Amino acid sequence: MAVLKDLQPGKVFHFFEEMSNIPRTSGNEKMISDWLVRFAKDRNLEVHQDEALNVIIKKPGTSGYEKSSAVIIQGHMDMVGEKATESNHNFLNDPLKLRVIDDYVYATDTTLGGDDGIAVAYGLALLDSSDIPHPPIELLVTTNEETGMDGAANLDASSLTGKTLINIDAEEEGIFLVSCAGGITSTVSFQPDYEKYQGEAFKISITGLKGGHSGIEIIKQRANSVKLLGRLLYKLSEECDLRLVSLSGGSKHNAISREAEAHIAILSEDYTKLNETVNIMADAFRNEYSVEDPDIKIQVASSKADKIMTKKSTENIISYMVTVPDGVQTMSKEIEGLVVSSLNLGVLEELNGKVQFTHAIRSSVKSLKFEIMVRIRAIADLCSGTVQMFSDYPEWQYESDSKVRKAAVETYSKLYGKEPEIQAIHAGLECGLLKEKLPEADMISFGPNLYNVHTPSEHMSISSVARTWDFLVALLKNLK
């Protein structure tokens, strides 16, 4: 029994419900991908399925739009599979149990897959329609967005001709995304030398920081525990003969590190200096971060040391911690409040006898990503560290002259009597990868209101789905 059959727009909710019956978590997309191919074949539409299981379905323009250039409508077919602890839902076999409460569609005990099933449902409703005027449509449905964007990265784009791309994977109605960051991960490692040293060992720990997502929250300019630790150690090395024993901090490259710890050795007569320095630096940190990080705490405890680093190794590592840049590097002059480039020292750890720092670098301008990479290399060289760069992903740079953005703003303003909000995000989107495959594509991203995505309480606003559909249909009409 169809649960959504009385909802409007009928076709959109019909196809959304059909998709909800097909298991489609990331990495498990064969069934839904084949189902999309069958959808196209049943309607005699041109269809391409590539090795990554991405599907492209084409439909000619309607009367008066036959010669218009094609519009690519894009979303991802995979969804995050999260369920309530007590649920025995099997994401590999079971259909989702949809239900409607007031203005919202939920799936009982599981994620709903509104992210990004609603984009596919819109696309299918357009392909199935006979009464909506539109330019030629190329519906692009990608795989594996949620676990690494492998579908977009491995897309065979050879059959796509459209120069306009509408991505429907944003979660707030009335907000148009127009740019995203690219990024790369960098590690810098040090191979310390050890020696005998007649010192006393202590553990210094920094805690109480808020942290946050290294893309979205880097703009808040919160403290980074590893950077604070570096400053404290540098100051201490000016006061006394300091040796490092071991270091650790942070847990994820893409999270601002909240805690850091250093085991050190100093001569026993320098103990008072250690306490004095810790107090001075703790006051300075609390003063500097009184707004964003008021609870910074530094503690000293006695420790034990089996092996102690040489003075040179100690200096190299501390110099690196102090000088390597961190946080926001460039702000946009076109979009207020947008971070263009940044980096985050997310992890400090010991791996195979080496001390290793991991930085997440982000930028919506490619050359500024390279600029940060160059600085890391130069500083690492000066401090005798070894650099590695990996997990490179491309950006979607802001286009100052975008036809589709202009059309979208005009259409939206006319339809709703208010201006939409233009936003860019300092994190990766499929649009970055698609921009690399389709360099000429003029792109925009929007979507209806979704709440608590990636959790079992994910829900989607029915009225917002309807408004966003009306907007999409009106926009296509205007893209002649």
CB of 441 to Zn ion, least distance (A): 19
Type of residue found at 65: Y
Known catalytic residues are 78, 145
In this complex, which beta carbon is closest to Zn ion, that of residue 82 or of residue 115?
115
Q: For residue 264, how many other CB atoms are within 10 A of its CB? A: 27
In this complex, which beta carbon is closest to Zn ion, that of residue 25 or of residue 356?
25
From 125, 176, 108, 101, select the one nearest 461 (Cα to Cα): 101
In this complex, which beta carbon is closest to Zn ion, that of residue 260 or of residue 427?
427
From 281, 188, 301, select the one nearest 233 (Cα to Cα): 281
Options 164-172, 205-213, 270-278, 412-420: segment touching Zn ion (CB under 5 A): 164-172
Number of residues that bind Zn ion (CB under 5 A): 3
Q: What is the DSSP string of 56-108?
A: EEEE---TT-TTSPPEEEEEES-B---B-TT----TTTPPP-EEEETTEEEET
Q: For residue 306, how many other CB atoms are within 10 A of its CB? A: 8
* Site membership for Zn ion, residue 169 (CB under 5 A): yes
CB of 214 to Zn ion, least distance (A): 19
In this complex, which beta carbon is closest to Zn ion, that of residue 149 or of residue 422?
149
In this complex, which beta carbon is closest to Zn ion, that of residue 74 or of residue 187?
74
Peptide bond into 116 cis (omega under 30): yes
Three-point CA angle 41, 45, 46, nearest 5° = 100
Q: For residue 430, how many other CB atoms are within 10 A of its CB? A: 24
In this complex, which beta carbon is closest to Zn ion, that of residue 116 or of residue 315?
116
Element (H, E) at 379: helix 366-382
Options 161-169, 190-198, 245-253, 401-409: segment touching Zn ion (CB under 5 A): 161-169
SS3 assignment, position 297: strand
* Site membership for Zn ion, residue 82 (CB under 5 A): no
Options 169-177, 178-186, 233-241, 384-392: segment touching Zn ion (CB under 5 A): 169-177
Peptide bond into 439 cis (omega under 30): no
CB of 16 to Zn ion, least distance (A): 14
Three-point CA angle 402, 403, 409, nearest 5° = 90
CB of 268 to Zn ion, least distance (A): 58
CB of 113 to Zn ion, least distance (A): 10
End-to-end CA distance of the chain: 40
Q: What span, in angstroms and rounded, lies between the C-alpha atoms of 344 and 352? A: 23
Residues 404-463 interacting with Zn ion (rule: CB under 5 A): none
In this complex, which beta carbon is closest to Zn ion, that of residue 116 or of residue 395?
116
CB of 180 to Zn ion, least distance (A): 13
How far from 208 is each of 162, 205, 298, 417, CA to CA, in Å? 51, 10, 9, 46
CB of 431 to Zn ion, least distance (A): 11
Q: What span, in angstroms and rounded, lies between the C-alpha atoms of 133 and 146? A: 33
Options 92-100, 135-143, 166-174, 183-191: segment touching Zn ion (CB under 5 A): 166-174
In this complex, which beta carbon is closest to Zn ion, that of residue 114 or of residue 136?
114
How far from 216 is each of 131, 169, 180, 357, 395, CA to CA, in Å? 41, 17, 11, 21, 15
Q: What span, in angstroms and rounded, lies between the C-alpha atoms of 43 and 39? A: 7
CB of 141 to Zn ion, least distance (A): 12
Residues 106-125 interacting with Zn ion (rule: CB under 5 A): 115-116
SS (HEC) of 319-337: HHHHHCCCEEEEECCCCCC
Residues near Zn ion (CB under 5 A): 115-116, 169
